[in-house]
């Protein structure tokens, strides 16, 4: 995936012409197909070929790298690893997933965390795909593309089996940081979620009904500045888009959220194209069963010192304290 921010010189240009301008060798038939398949988006949403670009628009093209001009040759200086390690031992690693990076590969062919992890282990000599073992290092949990944070990765089949067991049995506890509109109600909040599979969108309700699943979200307001709050979120249930949809239901949508957010609020921050949400802490339950090989991590917590949410908040609060 490549993204572009439209400049004043692009304003008024048809989107299809802009795509043709920034790509190379893209067949017209594939261009049309990419629009139909929603692989060309503006500000996070599907856009038509005849959409007229506005200055500041974020244009995302989910196309193979072969259709973009080659990057200028760089010096032979060794590049730093793209992978950021929060913790690592012989069995597992805790990885930082940046915004926009997928957890797993998909049809777009975009960069993804599990491939970075595999390459990292290859470089270290810890993973030899020609060694006869069918196991490939994998992730035990996942985060949405637009969410940053800590991911549990397994180096061995046993670690993958036991790591996914921790997730399944609610023995892996995550806390999130987010920037929300106004001041959300604090404490444990309960509601009911219905997911529209076709639209990949959820709705929140106060009362239970057929097809709705209970959600429980813990909210703690850490700081306030201007019309925004920095909040710590604890998930007691893990449903699709739970944090984003639940806070929006409570009147405090996440800044930058294009699906459940406040469009007027988002318009005040045109450079913020992603929801400000980070899984900043991963904790292992203090009572992991002894038969689970990750029992040695019982009671331990691992946190990020830096993330995009905190960087935004520091800048914003210094101007709006």
- Of the three residues 37, 67, 97, the one that is the final residue of a domain is 67
Our CA angle for 104, 107, 108, nearest 5°, is: 90
- Averaged pLDDT for residues 147-160: 94
Specify if 166 maps to a domain. yes
Distance of CA 233 to the CA centre of its chain: 16
CATH no. for residue 234? Answer: 3.30.2350.10
27 plus 96 within the same structural domain: no
189 plus 275 within the same structural domain: yes
194 plus 126 within the same structural domain: no
Specify if 151 maps to a domain. yes
166 plus 294 within the same structural domain: yes
101 plus 158 within the same structural domain: yes
- Averaged pLDDT for residues 164-175: 94
Q: Tell me the per-residue pLDDT of 219-269, one tens digit each, with 9 for 90 and over.
A: 999 999 999 999 999 999 989 999 999 999 999 999 999 999 999 999 999
Specify if 72 maps to a domain. no
CATH no. for residue 26? Answer: 3.10.290.10
Q: Tell me the per-residue pLDDT of 15-38, one tens digit each, with 9 for 90 and over.
A: 988 888 788 888 888 989 989 988
CA distance 150 to 98: 9
15 plus 149 within the same structural domain: no
pLDDT of residue 157: 86
The label of the residue with tokens 């049995």 reads: 169
Q: What confidence category does residue 163 fall into, taking pLDDT thresholds of 50, 70 and 90? A: very high
Our CA angle for 240, 293, 236, nearest 5°, is: 25
Give the pTM: 0.73
Specify if 116 maps to a domain. yes
Strand, coil or helix: what is 29? helix
194 plus 244 within the same structural domain: yes
pLDDT of residue 311: 94
Strand, coil or helix: what is 214? strand
Specify if 77 maps to a domain. no
% of the chain exceeding 90 in pLDDT: 62
217 plus 295 within the same structural domain: no
User: Is 87 a residue whose pLDDT tops 80?
Assistant: yes
- What is the total count of domains within the chain? 3
Q: Tell me the per-residue pLDDT of 289-301, one tens digit each, with 9 for 90 and over.
A: 999 999 999 999 9
54 plus 166 within the same structural domain: no
Domain enclosing residue 143, as ranges: 84-171+285-300
pLDDT of residue 70: 67
Specify if 200 maps to a domain. yes
Residue 136 has phi, psi (to 5 degrees) of -120, 130
CA distance 273 to 213: 30
User: Is 72 a residue whose pLDDT tops 50?
Assistant: no
Half-sphere exposure of 164 (CA within 13 A, CB side): 10
Q: What confidence category does residue 128 fall into, taking pLDDT thresholds of 50, 70 and 90? A: confident
| C-beta separation of 221 from 242 below 8 A | no
CA distance 252 to 248: 5
User: Is 85 a residue whose pLDDT tops 60?
Assistant: yes
14 plus 157 within the same structural domain: no
Specify if 78 maps to a domain. no
Q: Tell me the per-residue pLDDT of 130-144, one tens digit each, with 9 for 90 and over.
A: 544 457 899 999 998
Radius of gyration of the CA atoms of the chain, in A: 21
Sign of torsion over alpha carbons 18, 24, 27, 32? negative
314 plus 209 within the same structural domain: yes
Chain-wide mean pLDDT for the chain? 89
Nearest C-alpha neighbor of 256 from the set 200, 309, 315: 309
pLDDT of residue 264: 95
Q: Please state at what angle helix 28-36 crosses helix 15-22, rounded to 10 degrees.
A: 120
254 plus 147 within the same structural domain: no
Q: Tell me the per-residue pLDDT of 39-49, one tens digit each, with 9 for 90 and over.
A: 999 988 888 99
E strand segments, 182-296:
187-196, 201-205, 213-225, 228-235, 277-284
Specify if 74 maps to a domain. no
- Residues β-bridged to residue 139: 153
| Of the listed ranges 52-66, 73-87, 165-179, 214-228, the one predicted with least confidence | 73-87
Greater pLDDT, 44 or 56 = 44
- Of the three residues 67, 93, 124, the one that is the final residue of a domain is 67
Q: Whats the size of the chain, residue-wise?
A: 321
């Amino acid at each position: 995936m490549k993204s572009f921010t439209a400049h004043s010189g692009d304003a008024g240009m048809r989107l299809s012409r802009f795509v043709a301008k920034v790509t190379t060798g893209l067949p017209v038939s594939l261009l049309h197909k990419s629009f139909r398949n929603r692989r060309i988006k503006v500000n996070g949403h599907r856009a038509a070929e005849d959409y007229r670009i506005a200055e500041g628009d974020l244009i995302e093209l989910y196309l193979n790298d072969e259709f973009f001009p080659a990057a200028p040759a760089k010096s032979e200086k060794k590049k730093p690893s793209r992978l950021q390690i929060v913790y690592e031992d012989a069995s597992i690693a805790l990885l930082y997933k940046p915004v926009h990076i997928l957890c797993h590969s998909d049809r777009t062919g975009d960069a993804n965390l599990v491939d970075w992890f595999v390459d990292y282990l290859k470089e270290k000599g810890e993973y030899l795909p020609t060694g006869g073992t069918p196991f490939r290092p994998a992730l035990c949990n996942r985060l949405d593309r637009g969410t940053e944070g800590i991911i549990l990765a397994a180096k061995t089949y046993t670690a993958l089996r036991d790591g996914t067991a921790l997730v399944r049995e609610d023995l892996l506890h995550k806390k999130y940081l987010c920037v929300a509109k106004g001041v959300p109600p604090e404490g444990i909040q309960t509601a009911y979620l219905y997911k529209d599979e076709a639209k990949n969108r959820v709705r929140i309700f106060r009362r239970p009904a057929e097809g709705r699943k209970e959600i429980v979200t813990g909210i703690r307001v850490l700081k306030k500045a201007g019309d925004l709050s920095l909040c710590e979120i604890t998930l007691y249930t893990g449903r699709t888009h739970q944090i984003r949809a639940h806070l929006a239901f409570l009147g405090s949508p996440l800044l930058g959220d294009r699906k459940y957010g406040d469009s007027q609020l988002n318009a005040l921050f045109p450079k913020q194209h992603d929801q400000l949400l980070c899984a900043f802490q991963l904790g292992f339950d203090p009572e992991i069963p002894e038969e689970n090989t990750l029992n040695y991590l019982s009671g331990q917590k691992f946190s990020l010192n830096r993330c995009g949410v905190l960087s935004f908040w520091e800048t914003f609060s210094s101007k709006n304290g």
